[in-house]
Amino acid sequence: MGVSGAVQGEGFVSVSIERSAPAGGEAGQGWRVISQASEKGSAAHNEDISGTAGSCAWIVDGSAFFSGAARTTEESEGAWLVRRIDALLRAGPPDDLAFPAWAAGLERQLQQDYAALGEGHPERGAGEGPSAVLGLIRLRRDGNACRIEGAVIGDVSILIRDGDRIERWTDPSSNPFEAKTIAAATADGHRPGEVISPAALAQILRNRCSLNRQGGYWAINPGLGWQAGLRLFSGEISPGAIVLLASDGFMRLVDVIAHCDEAGLMDAVARVGAAGAIAELRRLESADPLAGRFRRVKIHDDATALLVTPGARDNHIEKPS
């Protein structure tokens, strides 16, 4: 599986991770959904979402940190943002549009939508409000050959398994900032029933000063430009390949708890389904209720996974449940 990746945008030079010449082809008829599940964590609202439409599949993981009153009442601002991105993708998946051009349009649309949501509310500082990380894949076909193209911003993961080969696409820019937040959250131990400690929240707000800046970390944010942080990937895959799109809360099974490696996680989701894997995650987290063994900010984070494979050429894409 030849795979390439790049960071592109104004002020950035495209940097190849593994060189693979881009291939032509037509947008495929889409992905067949094998398994899909999402479960909220310790907070009141699930700020994850995943979906499929056209030749595309995606996962979005949101958050929101701000001072003052919320601009939403029935859901968190993070949930509002991911639901809006999901709706725009369902209405107009970028089947043929270059990902950077699509991202430019999404950035403009979300700026307008969030400005409308904020009418009658006080202005906010740069970086305050909702943010979201995104993993987006597109299936292209050239005869019987399949090609996957991806765009990632933030710490979601796309795992591709093709035979005995596994590739992981993600954006590691937030890792040092997450480490600071975990250190703050666990310095004095977790208090029972506390979603995020005051020390961790204070660190998150400090981290926001580095959002969408060179040397910082990247996320979709309706108040800050983010296109420069979009990472692009592509690779050839066989029709039997499987692809897992996962939020960082789901990837705790590998990255935090070390319950399995990436190959083991793919095996588990294929065997027991995304919901079964989340149930095992929750069992392990609940056995460590104060994060003494597995250091983390929230005891339970939102956990979402979507497992897909190239659909048959004569089949329509399966609708996600």
State pLDDT tens for residues 266-288: 999 999 999 999 999 999 999 99
Cα separation, 188 vs 39, in Å, equals: 28
Task: Look at the block and give the residue holding tokens 């969408």.
Answer: 212
Cβ-based burial of 233 (10 A; exposed 0-12, middle 13-18, buried ≥19): buried
Partners of residue 274 on adjacent β-strands: none
DSSP string computed for 56-76:
EEEEEEEEEE-SS--S-SSS-
Q: Are 298 and 48 in contact (CB under 8 A)?
A: no
**Residues of the chain with confidence (pLDDT) below 50:** 1-24, 28, 315-321
CATH class belonging to 3-11+43-310: alpha beta
Ramachandran category for residue 30: left, alpha or beta (phi over 0 → left; psi -120 to 50 → alpha): left
Buried b (16+ CB within 10 A) or exposed e, 197-214: beebbebbeebbebbbee
Taking the model in full, what pTM does it have? 0.87
Task: Look at the block and give the residue holding tokens 């809360």.
Answer: 249
Task: Look at the block and give the residue holding tokens 């995606």.
Answer: 58
Q: Are 14 and 287 in contact (CB under 8 A)?
A: no
Cα separation, 228 vs 12, in Å, equals: 7
